[in-house]
Chain A
Amino acid sequence: MDASQTTDSPARDVHRDLPMASSMCWHCQSEVPGEYFCSRCVKVQPLSKELDYFTCLNLPRTLNLDDKALEETFYALSRTFHPDYFATKDESEQSISLGNTALLNAAYQTLKDPIRRVEYLIRLEAGSARTVQTSPPADLLNEILEIQEDIETLRSLSPEESSGQRQALHTKLRDDRGMLAERQARLEACLSEQCQRWDDLQADAGEDARIRAQKDEVLKDLRELLSHRTYIRNTVHDLAEIVG
């Protein structure tokens, strides 16, 4: 999911781009039109609490992100706000630096991981996606239940008595794991596809009711895919533990 559609975006100036909590300096009350440091008293200014992670890291609200730009912005903002550079400043400035950096770190941590990025987007755009039921499709559910049952049986068998049955179960679970891994690969492909669909919709200028409806559709699909992914991953994990 590390596409590079934004690599040709203009070099960005990370300074003075983020929404601030107030347009007035907390210290000297002079105007601070979106600047990180007051131009009069040079005190650091708090970022807006409502800032979403995409805005914070100066990225479009898309699911394929430019990893390099993400890291560069993160490093540049860290150099601006990190508490290490405020250790000799007064308590208020230290606390603002701490708050800004905590927000920045949370944003980076979330967006650099493709899955957490999708989860975050769903939460951010929640509205209509929130009501979606997310139980896995019947065939997947049955398959998983059967595997779980076999795992339990295999665990309960004593090694001496039932080596034949153990062998058979072992082989079956190994096959199941192969199938499940294939299914997982298909699911990851679907996930990428939906992410791309979201990005395409985002790229369209403006947002009318039709596009919004399509977006909600994508969000709903993403949410389902993520939920299935969790089921499959957990089962693959359990299988790996028992059949190696």
Chain B
Amino acid sequence: MIIGIDLGTTNSLVAYMDGDHCRVIPGPDGRATVPSIVGFLDNGMLVGDPAREHLVRSPSRTVYSVKRFMGKALADVADELKYFPYTLQEKGGVIRIQIGDTLYSPPQVSATILKELKRRAEAHLGEDITKAVITVPAYFNDSQRQATKDAGRIAGLDVLRILNEPTAASLAYGLQQRTRGFIAVYDLGGGTFDISILKLKDGIFEVLATNGNTHLGGDDFDRRMVEVVVQDMNTRHGVRVEESQELMQTIRLEAEKTKRRLSDERQVHMAISLSDGKGIYERTWSRDEFEALIVDLVEQTMASCRLAMKDAEVEPGQIDEVVLVGGSTRIPFIHDRVRALFGKTPHCDLNPDEVVALGAAVQAGILAGDNKDMLLLDVTPLSLGIETMGGVMNAIIRRNTTIPTSAREMFTTSVEGQTSVDIHILQGERDLVKDNRSLARFQLKVPPLPAGGPRIEVTFLIDANGMLNVTAADIRTGQSQSVVVKPSYGLTDDEVENMIRESFQFAQQDVQARQVIEARVEAESIVTSTELALQRGMDLIGREEVQTIQQAVAELRAAKNQNDHRVIRSKIADVEHVTHHLAEVLMDATLKEALENKKLSEVRD
């Protein structure tokens, strides 16, 4: 079985093909989405909902929105550092997240989320899972795609395909029932925006153009609200929010909640309690006010849509279907703007949180050979080029070229006896090298000949994942040479190998961490139920027994926050032991009550 994974900025989920149907895989609580949050404990990691709780308790040891850092250097995220409670560093051109004394790369953190999804799939399907399709924003560059593939490897998954999210969504919609037409997929998630224009004909989904922004999404809407609240708290309550990461995270979570509610309500009241007797911060948000706050960001997405249509040579009126993807498209304002732009009511019948994972499962089915009807022809979102004299980029593969595709370039020398040529590969749409994204560098070996003598042909191949492969051959001798490409913003192979090894070591710790969480959850419910039972049965048992029970509950409560699940378990057992009698007494009382009620009802009859 090949699974389909949506590795999102805010939420992640996994889906599979069940015969002809794609289905998402729910977790133990019945929900399919796993919040993309990883909490670091002393002895392991937490993923998803438990990690979300960890976020307010221990913000500097809880990582969220890690997707924003994939394939990036520290300088790329400089202006948003203040929003993140954890410490970021850089090593080898790759961002590292510092937790205590340890540095984690974004692919490692993503791998923990992938492992949780893999575990869910294995539990649900009852088989080992080793192969996956993972989705990425269509506008992800080569480094970001590579980082995602690395994350898969670290999680023990063979990533058969890196699939673009909007195209995945179009597969899930089963629009192939419409035999032909133009489709626009507008995908606004937690951290990224994509627009793709597709042509559909007889089961072939041909992407004509794609555009987007890998740094624009719901997170940015939250931030706008957070900024307002932070300012407000300072003027009204004299609170300096910057000094408390806990408060900052509370505000962020409240802002997100308020944003969500504003999609259904026209007005939402927000209340955040402040520490140190500073009272409660209160504010009412109107939908209009929220819309005014985000209108420029939404306009940016509209501009991308227009560019994509221009590249696709399609007019808005020609678009037959519009599909909305991503949680942020629930915002009525965005819905309205999209409808106005394309002059069409968008599809949103599938859950926008699930549709990408479902599409990944459909693609997994195609790769497995189970679906020969559909075929996806995707494009590369950015032009690929090489640096030439004077710091100018020479584009060799243009954006929106159908992939896989290749281009061949001939290289020679400019100085007699020169034995190597340096090649710098870039991605982007600008003329100057400095305005584009540096992907990688490599050195061609050339035989010492007069200037212009050597003829080395380099083939740049973009595969179906949208990822670059480079090969070179000496035209004179016909000999091919291996090219060692050094990524500008990526992990080296050795690093990834090390991380895979470490990840096996962590696996043991992760099991422990999960046991701690499960024990903690159970402890909490036992404390609550015991206290309730004690209230009801206080008069039915002796004072000494009440004290014993209270003592055991207090000990359990104290043990609950320990990191050893065995300690918690033993205290749980203690409570169960001392409440045994109380339980029996209560049971008797309940029975008696029931009998009496019965008698009463019989009397009434």
Contact = CB atoms under 8 A, between A and B. Distances in A.
A105 interface: yes
A106 B404 CA distance: 9
Given A75-B202, A98-B464, A102-B461, A85 B369 contact: yes
A87 B401 contact: no
A64 interface: no
A135 B370 CA distance: 57
Contact of A105 (B161, B375, B402): B402
B464 A84 contact: yes
B347 to A, nearest CB: 25
A88 B368 contact: yes
Interface string B154-187: 0000001100000000000000000000000000
A82 B161 CA distance: 13
B406 A102 contact: yes
A79 B461 CA distance: 20
Interface residues of A, number: 19
A78 B405 contact: no
Contacts of A85: 366, 369, 372, 375
Contacts, number: 59
Interface string B62-78: 00000000000000000
B369 A83 contact: no
A83 B464 contact: yes
Nearest to A100: B404
Given A82-B375, A84-B375, A102-B461, A109 B401 contact: yes
A84 B204 CA distance: 12
Nearest to B377: A78
Contacts of B367: 84, 87-88
B531 interface: no
Interface residues of B, number: 24
Contacts of A103: 406
A101 interface: yes
B463 interface: yes
Contacts of B463: 83, 98
Interface in A77-104: 78-79, 82-85, 87-88, 98-99, 101-103
A103 B405 CA distance: 7
A109 B406 CA distance: 12
Contact of A84 (B366, B401, B402, B407): B366
Interface string A7-39: 000000000000000000000000000000000
Contact of A98 (B204, B377, B402, B404): B404
Interface in B175-220: 201-202, 204
Given A75-B204, A83-B463, A98-B464, A108 B402 contact: yes
Nearest to A101: B404
A82 B368 CA distance: 13
Contact of A109 (B363, B375, B376, B402): B402
A99 B404 CA distance: 8
A78 B402 CA distance: 11
A82 B463 CA distance: 11
B403 interface: yes
B204 A78 contact: yes
A233 to B, nearest CB: 15
A241 B28 CA distance: 58
B402 A79 contact: no
Nearest to A87: B367
Contacts of A99: 406
B388 to A, nearest CB: 19
Interface string A51-85: 00000000000000000000100010011001111
Nearest to B367: A87
Contact of A79 (B161, B368, B375): B375
A79 B204 CA distance: 9
A112 to B, nearest CB: 10
Interface in B532-552: none
13 contacts: A75-B202, A75-B204, A78-B204, A82-B375, A84-B367, A84-B375, A84-B464, A85-B366, A87-B368, A98-B461, A102-B405, A105-B403, A106-B405
Interface of B: 160-161, 201-202, 204, 363, 366-369, 372, 375-377, 401-407, 461, 463-464
Given A83-B404, A85-B369, A102-B461, 8 more contacts: A78-B375, A82-B377, A84-B366, A105-B402, A106-B405, A106-B406, A106-B407, A108-B402
